[in-house]
A and B are shown apart, each in its own frame.
Chain A
Amino acid sequence: QKEVEQDPGPLSVPEGAIVSLNCTYSNSAFQYFMWYRQYSRKGPELLMYTYSSGNKEDGRFTAQVDKSSKYISLFIRDSQPSDSATYLCAIDTSGTYKYIFGTGTRLKVLA
């Protein structure tokens, strides 16, 4: 079993839709969770950083962590064509100084 699982998509939605992106992880010791956005030919850009269960909101983005289910989500409200990118979840394996990344979900928002 992979340490982090993420549906690769692709996911196509109409402009204005609410997008839900999800990852599951296997190790209950993981505490720090990130979401990155990566545009083509660019490096990943940090969107959200969370370290506890519950929700964290930043503009149109909400990150949700459910440690009991080992499940993390990113919601994008009022999606825009400029949100079209690959979204990667990442887990900070505390004490090892490395991140484990999901495979990424390709999102396309249609105008």
Chain B
Amino acid sequence: KAGVTQTPRYLIKTRGQQVTLSCSPISGHRSVSWYQQTPGQGLQFLFEYFSETQRNKGNFPGRFSGRQFSNSRSEMNVSTLELGDSALYLCASREGTADGYTFGSGTRLTVV
């Protein structure tokens, strides 16, 4: 089985721009989560989707949004980028609630 695929791997954006990150979960996995990883804060939960429904959202401003499609693929969007949004954005998927999440390699976003 292919793993969790995230595209692109690297992005450089300018303050004020917006960005869309993409995630393809492992085939058959319907739960997809997103995390932000920074050296100072570690891994912080952004949101979780299951069957196109957002079931939980972390403590991030409304500039951070996401969605899940009927094929379980997911995207997250960050609008009006700030320097502090520079981070590794990780997507993870799992088959059921009794399984651990499998993470992708992440998208490294740099805001300049």
Binding site for B on A (CB under 8 A): 34, 36, 41-46, 49, 51, 88, 90, 94, 96-104
Identify 28 residue pairs between A and B in the complex whose beta-carbon atoms are under 8 Å apart, listed by A's number.
A34-B100, A36-B103, A41-B105, A42-B105, A43-B90, A43-B92, A43-B103, A43-B105, A44-B43, A44-B90, A44-B103, A46-B101, A46-B102, A49-B99, A94-B97, A96-B56, A97-B31, A97-B33, A97-B48, A97-B56, A98-B45, A98-B48, A99-B35, A99-B45, A99-B101, A100-B45, A101-B42, A102-B42
With A98-B33, A101-B42 as given contacts, are A49 and B105 in contact (CB-CB < 8 Å)? Answer: no
Contact of B103 among A45, A94, A96, A98 (CB under 8 A): A45
With A97-B56, A98-B58 as given contacts, are A104 and B42 in contact (CB-CB < 8 Å)? Answer: yes
Per-position binary interface string of chain B over residues 90-112, scored 1 when its CB falls under 8 Å from any chain A CB and 0 otherwise:
10100001111111111000000
Q: Which residues of B contact A44 (CB under 8 A)?
A: 43, 90, 103
Query: Which size class do B's interface residues fall under?
Result: 20 to 34
Q: Which residues of B contact A97 (CB under 8 A)?
A: 31, 33, 48, 50, 55-56, 97
Q: Which residues of B contact A90 (CB under 8 A)?
A: 43
The 7 closest A-B pairs by CB, nearest first: A43-B103, A101-B43, A97-B48, A98-B45, A49-B100, A46-B100, A97-B56
Q: Which residues of B contact A34 (CB under 8 A)?
A: 100
